[in-house]
Amino acid sequence: MELAYGDIIQQAYVVNDIEETARKWNGTFGIGPFVLLDHIELKHVLYRGRPAQMELSAALCQAGPIQIELIQQHYDGPSCYRDTYPDGGEGFHHVAVLCRDFEAERARYEAMGCPTAMIFGTEETRTCYMDARHLTGGMVELYTDYPGIRHLYRTVAERAANWDGKDILVGM
């Protein structure tokens, strides 16, 4: 799977029970396996410009040309996920895009009235969520292009291509 700059490469959903939701998606669409990244503590997080903590689980599955991500937040504090579902609801959260020039793309979204809701990672591995709800109905996740993100997407796609239909949730 080749990731192209500017293409929407992922659709993500906030969920309350990641394992139950993965089973529902499998039963509905027949997709799998979901690669589970369990209880990840994000590093160097800024939420709306202020230092923040974030712990979440993510389940990733390739569905044709697009990756599906299910996100369950484990930290009770504010976040871009709670911005979308402050009452604990579930549903669509964001699409993701790989950036040739991360800062230029971030500035472009800011100029369109889409503030940075959350940013995390190091200089080489930054990821951020732009609050584009007024334009798209959801956030836009921007990725810095680095080997780790390409490896993650390749791994998820390979797992789907070689899936035997048995385990719905698998480890990385």
Angle, vertex CA 123, rays to CA 7 and CA 154, nearest 5: 40
Specify if 21 maps to a domain: yes
pLDDT in tens, 77-93: 899 999 999 888 999 99
How many structural domains is the chain composed of? 1
Element counts in the chain: helices (H) and strands (E): 5, 11
What's the pLDDT at 88?
Answer: 87
Residue 84 counted as domain residue:
yes
Range of the domain at 134: 8-163
Establish if 1 belongs to a structural domain: no
pLDDT value, residue 4: 74
Q: Is residue 138 part of a domain?
A: yes
Average pLDDT for residues 38-60, to the nearest whole number? 95
Report yes or no on 169 lying in a domain: no
Residue-averaged pLDDT of the chain: 94
- CATH code, domain carrying 28: 3.10.180.10
| Residue type present at position 156 | V
pTM: 0.95
Q: Is 88 contained in some domain?
A: yes
172 occurs within a structural domain? no
Domain-embedded: residue 49: yes
The two three-digit tokens of residue 5, written as one number: 């700059």
